Amino acid sequence: MKAFTFRLETLLRLRKNSRDRALADYAKSIEQREIADNKVQEADLYLEKLNERLSLKSKSLFSGNEMITFQSQIKNAKDSKSSLIKNLSKLSSMESARRKVFLRKEAEYKSLDRFKERKANEHNFYEQKKEEKEQEDVISSRFVFNRFHS
């Protein structure tokens, strides 16, 4: 049986490499988004703690300078949280875009891989039929040979 060779093997390898790079990019963007999400949660906790401290302080007397300090810390924490949320949103959209790229690359690779499998099956079927025909020819030629020489 003649061995199967896929003429588009180089293209298949290129698509596989491209898919692997897209997967790595997608994984990296997931990691970045998760880190940003954790930072937003940390900023949320910090802001809650500041508000708790402010409410505890407000039960007792404290000076205007302390009040201004607390207010500026709360404002800075809110601004920081806002920028972290914007960054998280940007990273989420980047993750979504990279996911789409990965899915497209995966589909391209799988399509070509299925084509290769189909061609290999066709090749094997053709070769098997060819071998069967050759065996039938050998058997029939022996039969004819034995018939004439007996």
Number of domains in the chain: 1
Residue 131 lies in a domain: no
Residue 129 lies in a domain: no
Residue 127 lies in a domain: no
Q: How confident is the model at residue 111 (pLDDT cuts 50, 70, 90)?
A: very high
CATH, residue 52:
1.10.287
Residue 2 lies in a domain: no
pLDDT > 90: percent of the chain? 66
Residue 150: per-residue pLDDT: 63
Residue 147 lies in a domain: no
Can you tell me which residue has the tokens 């937003």? 40
Higher local confidence (pLDDT), 86 or 71: 86
H/E stretch holding 48: helix 9-58
Domain encompassing residue 107: 9-117
Residue 134 lies in a domain: no
* Average pLDDT of the chain to the nearest whole number: 91
- Residue length of the chain: 150
CA distance 108 to 99: 14
Residue 63 reports pLDDT greater than 90: no
Average pLDDT of span 98-122: 96
Residue 64: per-residue pLDDT: 74
Residue 147: per-residue pLDDT: 73
Higher local confidence (pLDDT), 95 or 62: 95
CA distance 112 to 88: 36
Residue 55 lies in a domain: yes
How confident is the model over 1-51, as pLDDT tens digits? 788 888 999 999 999 999 999 999 999 999 999 999 999 999 999 999 988
Residue 66 lies in a domain: yes
